Structure 1
Amino acid sequence: MFSDSDIPRETIQAYLETYYCVHGDTPTILKVGETNPTLATLHEARDTECSAFITACNPFSQNSSDEFNAARQQALAGELKQLGLSFVEGIGQHPSNNWPGEASFLVLGLPLEAAKTLGTRCGQNAIVWSGTDATPQLVLLR
């Protein structure tokens, strides 16, 4: 499924196992491949058919300083606001490895191609995208 990617297999496996935690008024945990009824309700409440879970932290999975990551997240939030996109803060956290949690945003109403473009601009290996079925899927970007 992911065999033609430049991303190491163990990194992809970590992405697949990560809990993508959405904060805000309707908190939930997104898991790749598992339909999420709370996400479906959030889509419906925001009158959208899709969303993307994106971070600007740790480009290309290179562990960066807290200050660097915070500045990148702040810049991403500014870009999302400028684009008029609705988003909810969150964090991506693997349940058992030592990789630090990454501040993230669930961006509502972001079509797949636009989400891929945004993730690429943020220097990410992958994003998590959900369509009308509210089932998060891992989308590799390289």
Structure 2
Amino acid sequence: MTTLSPELRKAFEETQYHVLHQAPFLLQVGQAQAALSALYQQHQTDCSCFITAFNPMGELLDKEENIERHAQLGRALGAAGLAALPAVAQHPANGWPAEPGYLVIGLGRDDAQRWAAQWEQLAVVWTSTDTVPQLLETRVPGWMR
């Protein structure tokens, strides 16, 4: 069973996830990204995920609230000992505001979904050894869209 409407799923899939690394690169659902292989090798892992704390449950918050949530997420990732690179999600055409987040290196599929649920996100973009980002819906208790 899916929780995202087809329109919302399409928006997530069309969004571009800009990883702000030494040599910046772009993640897009369904498109392999070779730059991930080097990161995986450097960090001795085989997976990563893009996560944001902006706009929980897909509801727009004001700028200050989003900035504070982003800072809290960054602190939580650091406290958990997770390697995280700054990143920004931006749809190329739909007018939804850019959402800063992090590319978390070495976060497994189940953990990625748990973090997303904890930060009230509808989905995360997760990538394994094949370096092809995929959209993972989050099951947030008590919510269905």
Question: Which of the five TM-score ranges fits, normalised by the shorter chain?
Answer: over 0.9
Amino acid at match of 1:36: Q
Counterpart-to-counterpart distance in 2, 1:81 and 1:63: 26
Question: How far apart, CA to CA, are the structure 1 residues paired with 2:23 and 2:104?
Answer: 14
1:56 aligns with 2:82: no
Question: Which consecutive unaligned segments of at least 5 residues does structure 1 have?
Answer: none
Bigger mean CA deviation after superposition, 56-65 or 37-46: 37-46
Secondary structure of the corresponding residue to residue 26 of structure 2: strand
CA distance in 2, matches of 1:6, 1:47: 33
Between 41-50 and 78-87, the greater mean CA deviation after superposition: 41-50
Rounded to whole Å, the distance in 2 between the matches of 1:5 and 1:135 is 21
Q: TM-score when scaled to structure 1?
A: 0.95
1:92 partner letter? A
State the shift of 1:132 in Å: 0.8
Q: Which residue of 1 aligns with 2:30?
A: 33
1:22 aligns to 2:55 (yes or no): no
**RMSD of the TM alignment (CA)?**
0.9
Q: CA deviation at 1:119?
A: 0.3
What TM-score, normalized by structure 2, do the two folds share?
0.93
Aligned length: 139
Q: Deviations over 1:81-117 (max 9, x none)?
A: 0000000001000011110000010000111111100
Gaps of 5+ in 2: 140-145
CA distance in 2, matches of 1:103, 1:55: 6
Q: 1:82 aligns with which of 66, 79, 83?
A: 79
- 1:66 is the counterpart of 2:78: no
- Contact between 1:55 and 1:73, CA under 8 Å: does it hold in 2? yes
Contact 1:28 1:39 (8 Å CA) reproduced: no
Identity score, percent = 36
The list of structure 1 runs, each at least 4 consecutive aligned residues, that deviate by more than 3 angstroms after superposition, is none
